[in-house]
Amino acid sequence: VIPLSLQRRVEGLLQEHLDRMLLSSGKVSDCSDDANGNGGFEDVNPEDNPDSLLDGSVMEKVLQRRSLRMRNMQRAWQESPEGKKMLDFRKSLPAFREKERLLQAIARNQVVVVSGETGCGKTTQLPQYILESEIESGRGAFCSIICTQPRRISAMSVSERVSTERGEPLGESVGYKVRLEGMKGKNTHLLFCTSGILLRRLLSDRNLNGITHVFVDEIHERGMNEDFLLIVLKDLLPRRRDLRLILMSATLNAELFSNFFGGAPTIHIPGFTYPVRAHFLEDVLEMTGYKLTSFNQIDDYGQEKMWKTQKQLVPRKRKNKITALVEDALTKSSFENYSSGVRDSLSCWTPDCMGFNLIEAVLCHICRKERPGAVLVFMTGWEDISCLRDQIRAHPLLGDPNRVLLLTCHGSMATSEQKLIFEKPPPNVRKIVLATNMAEASITINDVVFVVDCGKAKETTYDALNNTPCLLPSWISQASARQRRGRAGRVQPGECYHLYPSCVYEAFSEYQLPELLRTPLNSLCLQIKSLQVGSIGEFLSAALQPPEPLAVQNAVDFLKMIGALDEKENLTNLGEYLSMLPVDPKLGKMLIMGTIFRCFDPILTIVAGLSVKDPFLLPQDKKDLAGTAKSRFSAKDYSDHMALVRAYEGWKDAEREGSAYEYCWRNFLSAQTLQAIHSLRKQFSFILKDAGLLDADANTNNRLSHNQSLVRAIICSGLFPGIASVVPRETSMSFKTMDDGQVLLYANSVNARYQTIPYPWLVFGEKVKVNTVFIRDSTGISDSILILFGGTLSRGAMAEHLKMLEGYIDFFMDPSLAECYWKLKEEFDKLLQKK
Ligand code: CDP
Ligand code: MG
């Protein structure tokens, strides 16, 4: 009984504490993630903008003068030789022929839907046309145009491109803003940002005051943020009659969006692309002379499983006769067998390197026999890309830098690397780009003539019934396959090698399922709540394609459980704070607990790490070495989270000594990810400080950081109900989650290296269904931690365990934890009295 009441006390104290903080700050402050806030775009508070201190008529004059200056500069550029050259290029884009029609439609209608082939000039030209025509009409300083992108890298590369086209440095009239980075100034009137950034802005500025045009780009991808934006914007339009909304889509399902906005006019930009010849697996094998010596030879990239199925169907003696096999066995029905069975049995973490050999064979074929032109290879993810890259580098022909320029293109690449992709290779050198499906629509590499398509993309799906996200490479849609193929026909007729048989293509679904229907909705529901738009369910039912009620219910239950919503689904103080933090709500809670319990630094690193990605690399061929390197950071903590903290701290030290590069190399760490963790840490600290949750003195915030039990406890408070009990077996252990499911530890977890773990529980961040359910990072915790910090609603779920534990649980089992709990309680009480 005692532990339960104590547990409620901890939760109660948290809410009370936040209550005070909110009252004393007198505002739910604007903590949009504008850590390096500058410029006129997010001037939510008028006081922040010196211009607005001027009274109306003076202000009008200032803006008019600025507009004139903008017009003069624009004209000067357009008349300069470089400007003329640039204009000629822009005029050659298909979008240009529709320019007047587009401008008219936008002037006359509040919502316009534009579709057109990738590369026709939607993203770079349309917002620019508006900007130019406003500037030309002498109203330049009065307009602010926002154009959203689903990915940060496209927001950055597109803004750079547009400012080049305007002959200006980035951050002048054109800027960008993505999480952690931005480049915009006082004169920025066209801002490219991620859709997430616009959503954050809507939280604090529901009417988008001052914004004149919003472009939502790549809506055909049906990303969750885009779908969410469309609901919010649809609701906003009647209140902001002057606001213009333009939706841009690559494919032709424009009707869906037009209907959503009550029959908004649609404009199609007829594209110009050269024909691309499609070669499916049957032709590719023939063409490359690639011999399959066994059916298991091709994995993800050649659909090993399907061959396996065939093995049973085809008589043994014909096993090696691939042509015959393809002809008579690859029927649609066998594919269906295959695709239903595949989700359970496919191991996406360990792509069979043999599958890469087929890609290598295709690349060799192109290099030896085909005309010049760049090659774009679509892979499922970064792991595969880096693995194939290493394999290719060791190849006598493909690895020769005098003949092949090998590049990669994926979501987390550095800006410098990004630019290389667009550059022309030296004469007689063939550019090969290994890319994720990012290169499908949002990034255009002009000189591509050959496309190699593995037919898959890593896609998160969400199993609402088991409330488990799954991350699997799954078959792309027919629309995606066509889109990928189209990338080869930009400059001349192209060739596309699909590494799957044509019957498999026939069985692909037509379009991909929208993200809203395949991801957990926790963050989204919290954001909906803080928008104060009423019931979550009702709000989401207005979506283009509403999610299942069960998925919404799961999210609401989750938010209630962590204390972000109360019983009546109202936002609690905790919820209020959580909605300001640009992280998953449970990680946000962990951060806040870390500030309150004065062990901020390690928790900050853990949260930053969990919301970026794992900095520990796991190269396919050096898994063992990498695992050993990681376990060196663990020192019998039985915690991946603590290993992360140590690795990060070691990196900071190494950086000070100038040996960061070597440190990362030696320890299989990604410097890039560590850098991202570092910037996220800064950003979170800034927001928490601004919200008044963090003391100005770092020592105060970290007074208890050395207390390991406490850090474990805070990890638990954030990650609950991600709990697995450790069931010792004779020579090993098994792990069971609260819902009684059996789980396995991810191979790279430090806990996977032990035969026994001296903790009764493991707390983990996420479980992922691959073939079985895996948990990734985990930390061992004691009974007392679980009881004190295991969330409010743990009572029901834990009742069984508690009955079992009741006999011997002693809160004081862990004296250091009890001590700091009581100390803090005293401190809280004092704090509460003082205020
Ligand atoms: O948005 P959409 O796919 O319709 O095309 P876009 O991104 O506006 O690109 C239009 C054209 O601009 C492309 O075909 C490229 O020729 C060029 N471009 C470029 O050279 N460099 C970039 N970073 C982006 C676009
Ligand atoms: Mg585009």
The string of pLDDT tens digits covering residues 137-173 is 999 999 999 999 988 888 998 999 999 999 999 999 9
Q: Give the chain's radius of gyration (CA, Å).
A: 28
Q: Provide the pLDDT confidence category of residue 494 given band limits of 50, 70 and 90.
A: very high
Pick the range with the lowest mean pLDDT from 339-353, 558-572, 595-609, 780-794: 339-353
Give the model's pLDDT for residue 252.
Answer: 67
The listed range with the strongest mean pLDDT (135-149, 217-231, 464-478) is 135-149
Q: Which atom of ligand 1 is nearest to the CA of 442?
A: 3
Q: Which residues, 6 or more positions from 509, have their beta carbon under 8 angstroms from its beta carbon?
A: 475, 477, 478
Answer with the residue of higher pLDDT: 668 or 623: 668
For residue 771 the two structure tokens come to 């073939």
CA of 403 to the centre of ligand 2 (A): 31
* pLDDT for residue 798 is more than 60: no
Q: Is the pLDDT of residue 420 over 70?
A: yes
pLDDT of residue 25: 56
Q: In the beta sheet, which residues pair with residue 457? A: 474
Across 346-350, 361-365, 738-742, the highest mean pLDDT is recorded for: 361-365
Tens-place pLDDT, residues 541-570: 999 999 989 889 989 998 888 878 888 888
| Distance in Å, CA 119 to ligand 2 centroid | 7
Residue 54: DSSP 8-state: S
Task: Count how many residues are written for the chain.
Answer: 835
Q: What integer pLDDT is reported at residue 729 of this predicted model? A: 81
Degrees to nearest 5, angle at CA 192 with 186 and 194: 125
Closest listed residue to residue 514, CA positions, set 491, 547, 540, 484: 547
For residue 418, how far is its CA from the centre of ligand 2 (angstroms)?
16
Q: How far apart (Å, rounded) are the C-alpha atoms in residues 453 and 441?
A: 14
The answer, yes or no, to whether any atom of ligand 1 lies below 6 A from the CB of 122, is yes
Mean pLDDT, the chain, rounded, equals: 79
pLDDT at residue 831 in the model: 42
Cβ of residue 128 lying under 6 Å from some atom of ligand 1: no
377 vs 595: CA distance, rounded Å: 46
Residue 505 pLDDT > 60:
yes
Task: Give the pLDDT mean for 458-484.
Answer: 71
Q: What is the ipTM of this complex?
A: 0.99
Does the pLDDT of residue 188 top 90, yes or no?
yes
pLDDT band at 472 (very low <50, low <70, confident <90, very high): low
**From ligand 1's centre to the CA of 124, what distance in Å?**
6
Higher pLDDT, 398 or 412: 398
Ligand 1, atom 12: closest residue by C-alpha: 121
Q: What average pLDDT score do residues 31-40 get?
A: 36
Out of 453-462, 470-479, 642-651, give the one with best mean pLDDT.
Answer: 642-651
The tens digit of pLDDT for each residue in 612-649 reads 878 888 776 677 888 899 999 988 899 999 999 999 99
CA 404 to chain centre: 31
How close are the terminal C-alpha atoms of the chain, in Å?
Answer: 32
Ligand 1 pocket, 125 CB below 6 A? yes
Measure Cα distances from 787 to 10, 382, 483, 779 in Å: 11, 39, 52, 16
Predicted pLDDT at 165: 96
Q: Are strands 761-764 and 778-781 parallel, antiparallel or unpaired?
A: antiparallel
In this structure, which long-range contacts are made by residues 659-662, counting pairs with CB atoms below 8 Å and at least 24 apart in sequence? none
For residue 55, what pLDDT band results from cuts at 50, 70 and 90? low
Return the minimum-mean-pLDDT range out of 43-47, 502-506, 571-575, 674-678.
43-47
The one-letter amino acid at 35: A
